[in-house]
Amino acid sequence: MNSDHGPHRSARRTLLRAALTGTAALGTGLATGVPAADAAPFAAAPRKRPTTAEEALRELAAGNRRWRTYRERHPDETPTVRQALTTTQHPFALVLSCIDSRVAPELVFDQGLGDLMTVRTAGQVLDEAVLGSLAYGVLELGIPLLMVLGHQSCGAVKATVQADETGAQLPAHIQYLADQIGPAIDRTTSGDARIDATVDANIRLVRSRLAAEPELAAKVDSGELAVVGARYELTTQRVHRLG
């Protein structure tokens, strides 16, 4: 008759409070999308962000060195950074690269959230959507560096060269890619050497096209922007500039 009173009742209340507290904490973790134990962001010293093309190139070179020597830092992934990026972004480099799954700019340059703005198309092919996206990064966000990043053994370049040699018509929209890459074909070589040389020629061609865009050219002339070409080697994981 007295089972609902005294120490037994007090113990049940204590257990209920503990259960409710645990549920509330779990709910908080689910609501914020992180485990309750990790809900409170930890402080991290902010990285000094590059503000010029030269500084951006040095940072990308350092990041690529970490990548190819297996010393990645995976920067700018902390809860503090993620929270800060909900209201603003200040990427320091804009990278136009190939869609190849082995050449993700954030990985090969060991950069994190908010560091790079990337646009990826097969063979770094340009169209109006790509140009508009690149212009947004430069004109609206003030990014000082635009890099055209090609890579060793590019499938889009290989398909273009082979179709040119055989006269074959490529499927559907893939032919559009080949039409854009075609002017870069290096006809002074043959076989695998032609494909490799065309990779470089295509990088330079796309870079020159971008540098000639009037609004981008104005930024280059004023010293606010650098447009550079670079190539990623699958065999060494090294990125190097192309002159």
pLDDT digits (tens, 9 = 90+) for 103-113: 999 999 999 99
**And the tokens for 221?**
């002339």
**Is residue 135's pLDDT more than 90?**
yes
The pLDDT of residue 6: 53
Is the distance from CB of 100 to CB of 156 less than 8 angstroms? no
pLDDT in tens, 25-46: 333 333 334 444 444 444 555 5
pLDDT in tens, 179-200: 999 999 999 999 999 999 999 9
The pLDDT of residue 1: 47
The pLDDT of residue 86: 95
**And the tokens for 148?**
């055209």
Q: What is the mean pLDDT of residues 78-101?
A: 96
**Is residue 129's pLDDT more than 90?**
yes
Contacts for 122 with CB less than 8 Å, ≥ 6 apart: 98, 99, 155, 156, 177
Q: What is the mean pLDDT of residues 133-149?
A: 98
Average pLDDT, the chain: 87
What is the residue whose two structure tokens read 């055209």?
A: 148
Q: Specify the pTM.
A: 0.81
- Residue type at 143? I
**Is residue 159's pLDDT more than 90?**
yes
The pLDDT of residue 24: 37
Q: Tally helices (H) and strands (E) across the chain.
A: 9, 5
